[in-house]
């Protein structure tokens, strides 16, 4: 009896709360619970249906004797991108995406009439029958690329995925994409709801997974690079690995978190219209349409001009030197990575550890010899320039310790620094000085330190 009374109190309380909060949206229906309802006396049913965009909800509250329909309730903005719940992307993944402004992980969508980049910039574009590069690691560090092209009839597309040692091609065959899955050139027909898994011969770990859902969507996951591609024949979604952040290129943008100049050509040219810039990622073939005739003149003009985005650093050179003088202390020593060039300037090398060196305008004195490992990059790469900029700002670059060693050589560390004027004034007394005093470095083992 007490349990029944408690249940009735809860039902009344829930009804009153919902009625007060959602009164403008409620449609109430009262009926004979004995003849209509299939619910038991103490049973309550609550249903919530969220639209695909996560904008509105339809609620239903049912109890023996009455039924509420709550229509067109707007979802709070704080719950956008979290609701509706997804089986493929769990609640934790959706929360991480929302907290990082859809950047972790970043996704790109290619729709029939537009493209939405990793940085949430949307521009109108329709794939023709030429192959287009959607995303690629343009630094060449990670072998990953996704391409797509339009096919004949109903706006369907052909998608190619290259990641590591896996090559997957999906194209519509016999009216369905599940009949057109090819793995490393081998045809792999799939059934709805089927999952294909491929394991690495070297490690025995799962390297590739292709899952076919009941709604006609195929999801390809490559675990070596953490690449994921979803495709239903017309719509493509690419979830790129975070390792290619700022190094991505293609129709999906550069994935640097900024919408400014998001879509640049392979030569880093910035076009006035993203749709015109997208043509630069079209792979020309004699059998495809190529750049549409109405846009060809504008495209060629933009290619000739090739306006580039240039980052102009703030002139804080003098302020930086003051900071270095304060930070280095009276001895004038500051810990800094050493920068060297090889192969006629085509390679730039950085010491993997920071060494004590003298600031500009001072001369090092003899110190101990140290075996110093270096790691090298091609000078023109974006990553090399980024590391060089951080070293110029006297920052520690801890990631250098984890990179492969290109070569090792002996470096003479500075044990102290002296001004050239002090050395000149003390040269007359050098013959009477004790041999235990510090002597200027011979420079024999001095590293090639470039002051920028």
pLDDT the model gives residue 147: 95
Question: Cβ distance 391 to 337 under 8 Å?
Answer: yes
Which pLDDT band holds residue 8 (cuts at 50, 70, 90)?
low
Q: Report, as an integer, the average pLDDT of 350-365.
A: 80
Lowest mean pLDDT among 12-26, 229-243, 272-286: 12-26
Distance CA 368, CA 412 (A): 6
pLDDT the model gives residue 316: 59
Instruction: Print burial letters for 354-366: b (CB count within 10 Å at least 16), e (below 16).
Output: bbbbbbeebbbbb
Which pLDDT band holds residue 450 (cuts at 50, 70, 90)?
very low
Task: Identify the CA nearest to 207 among candidates 188, 218, 221.
Answer: 221
Q: Report, as an integer, the average pLDDT of 372-384.
A: 90
pLDDT the model gives residue 237: 93
Give me the phi and psi of 100, to 5 degrees please.
-105, 20
Cis ω for the linkage preceding 105 (within 30 of 0): yes
Q: Report, as an integer, the average pLDDT of 194-210.
A: 90
Which pLDDT band holds residue 366 (cuts at 50, 70, 90)?
low
Query: What pLDDT, in 10s, does the model give residues 232-245?
Result: 888 999 998 888 88
Using the predicted structure, report yes or no on whether residue 430 has a pLDDT greater than 50. no
The secondary structure of 14-44, three-state, reads: HHHHHHHHCHHHEEEEECCCCCCCCCCCCCC
Distance CA 210, CA 223 (A): 11
Which pLDDT band holds residue 437 (cuts at 50, 70, 90)?
very low
Lowest mean pLDDT among 170-174, 179-183, 422-426: 422-426
Q: Report, as an integer, the average pLDDT of 346-371.
A: 81
Using the predicted structure, report yes or no on whether residue 431 has a pLDDT greater than 50. no
* % of the chain exceeding 90 in pLDDT: 24
Using the predicted structure, report yes or no on whether residue 58 has a pLDDT greater than 60. yes
Using the predicted structure, report yes or no on whether residue 452 has a pLDDT greater than 50. no
H or E segment at 328? helix 317-328
Q: Report, as an integer, the average pLDDT of 175-187.
A: 87
- The string of DSSP codes covering 253-287 is ---SS--TT-SB-TT-BBPSSHHHHHGGGEE--TT
Distance CA 433, CA 346 (A): 46
pLDDT the model gives residue 6: 55
Which pLDDT band holds residue 92 (cuts at 50, 70, 90)?
low
pLDDT the model gives residue 142: 85
Q: Report, as an integer, the average pLDDT of 428-432.
A: 47
Distance from the first to the final alpha carbon of the chain: 85
Query: What pLDDT, in 10s, does the model give residues 254-270?
Result: 888 887 777 888 888 88
Distance CA 126, CA 244 (A): 25
Question: Cβ distance 132 to 281 under 8 Å?
Answer: yes
Length of the chain: 452
Give the distance between the most distant pair of CA atoms in the chain.
118
Distance CA 90, CA 136 (A): 27
pLDDT the model gives residue 124: 93
Query: What pLDDT, in 10s, does the model give residues 113-164?
Result: 999 999 888 999 999 889 999 999 988 888 899 999 987 656 688 999 998 7
Which pLDDT band holds residue 210 (cuts at 50, 70, 90)?
very high
List, in order, residues 6 or more apart from 107 with CB less than 8 Å away.
Answer: 118, 237, 238, 239, 240
Using the predicted structure, report yes or no on whether residue 3 has a pLDDT greater than 60. no
pLDDT the model gives residue 87: 58
List, in order, residues 6 or more apart from 381 with CB less than 8 Å away.
Answer: 139
Instruction: Classify the C-alpha dihedral 444-446-448-451 as positive or negative.
Output: negative
pLDDT the model gives residue 314: 63
Distance CA 249, CA 308 (A): 15
Q: Report, as an integer, the average pLDDT of 87-114.
A: 70
Using the predicted structure, report yes or no on whether residue 182 has a pLDDT greater than 90. yes
Q: Report, as an integer, the average pLDDT of 44-54.
A: 76
Selected residue with higher pLDDT from 242 and 362 = 242
248: which 2 tokens?
Answer: 């991505």
Instruction: Print burial letters for 320-334: b (CB count within 10 Å at least 16), e (below 16).
Output: eeeeebeebeeebbb
Q: Report, as an integer, the average pLDDT of 39-43.
A: 65
List, in order, residues 6 or more apart from 385 with CB less than 8 Å away.
Answer: none
Distance CA 225, CA 191 (A): 26
Selected residue with higher pLDDT from 449 and 291 = 291
pLDDT mean across residues, the chain: 78
Using the predicted structure, report yes or no on whether residue 97 has a pLDDT greater than 80. no
H or E segment at 341? strand 339-342
Q: Report, as an integer, the average pLDDT of 45-54.
A: 76
Selected residue with higher pLDDT from 18 and 200 = 200
Cα–Cα distances (Å) from 320 to 281, 325, 405, in that order, read 41, 9, 30
H or E segment at 150? strand 144-150
pLDDT the model gives residue 198: 92
């Amino acid at each position: 009896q007490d349990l029944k009374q408690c249940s009735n109190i809860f039902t009344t309380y829930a009804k009153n709360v919902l009625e007060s909060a959602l009164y403008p949206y409620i449609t109430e229906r009262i009926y004979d619970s004995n003849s209509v309802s299939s619910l038991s006396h103490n049973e309550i049913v609550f249903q919530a249906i969220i639209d695909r965009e996560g904008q509105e909800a339809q609620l239903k509250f049912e109890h023996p004797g009455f039924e509420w329909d709550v229509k067109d309730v707007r979802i709070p903005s704080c719950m956008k991108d979290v609701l509706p719940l997804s089986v493929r992307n769990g609640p934790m993944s959706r929360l991480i995406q929302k907290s990082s402004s859809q950047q972790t992980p970043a996704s790109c969508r290619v729709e029939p009439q537009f493209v939405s980049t990793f940085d949430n910039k949307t521009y109108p574009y329709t794939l023709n029958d030429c192959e287009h590069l959607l995303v690629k690691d343009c630094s060449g560090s990670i072998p990953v690329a996704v391409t797509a092209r339009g096919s004949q009839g109903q706006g369907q597309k052909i998608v190619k995925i290259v990641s590591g040692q896996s090559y997957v091609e999906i194209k519509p065959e016999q009216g369905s994409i599940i009949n057109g899955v090819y793995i490393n050139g081998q045809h792999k027909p799939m059934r709805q709801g089927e999952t294909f898994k491929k394991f690495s011969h070297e490690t025995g770990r799962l390297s590739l997974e292709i899952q076919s859902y009941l709604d006609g969507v195929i999801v390809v996951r490559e675990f070596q690079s953490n690449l994921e591609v979803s495709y239903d024949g017309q719509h493509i979604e690419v979830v790129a690995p975070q390792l290619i952040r700022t190094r991505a290129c293609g129709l999906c943008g550069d994935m640097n978190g900024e919408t400014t100049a998001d879509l640049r050509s392979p030569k880093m040219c910035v076009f006035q219209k993203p749709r015109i810039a997208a043509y630069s990622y079209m792979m020309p073939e004699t059998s495809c349409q190529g750049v549409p005739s109405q846009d060809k003149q504008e495209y060629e003009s933009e290619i000739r001009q090739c306006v580039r985005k240039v980052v102009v650093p703030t002139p804080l050179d003098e302020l930086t030197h003051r900071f270095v003088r304060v930070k280095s202390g009276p001895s004038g020593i500051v810990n800094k990575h050493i920068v060297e060039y090889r192969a006629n300037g085509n390679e730039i090398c950085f010491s993997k550890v920071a060494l004590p060196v003298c600031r500009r305008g001072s001369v090092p004195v003899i110190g101990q010899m140290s075996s110093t490992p270096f790691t090298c990059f091609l000078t023109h790469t974006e990553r090399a320039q980024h590391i060089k900029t951080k070293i110029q700002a006297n920052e520690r670059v801890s990631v250098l310790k984890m990179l492969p060693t290109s070569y090792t050589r002996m470096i003479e560390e500075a044990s102290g620094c002296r001004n050239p004027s002090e050395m000149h004034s003390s040269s007359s007394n050098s013959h009477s000085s004790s041999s235990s005093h510090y002597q200027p470095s011979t420079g024999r083992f001095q590293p090639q330190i470039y002051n920028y």
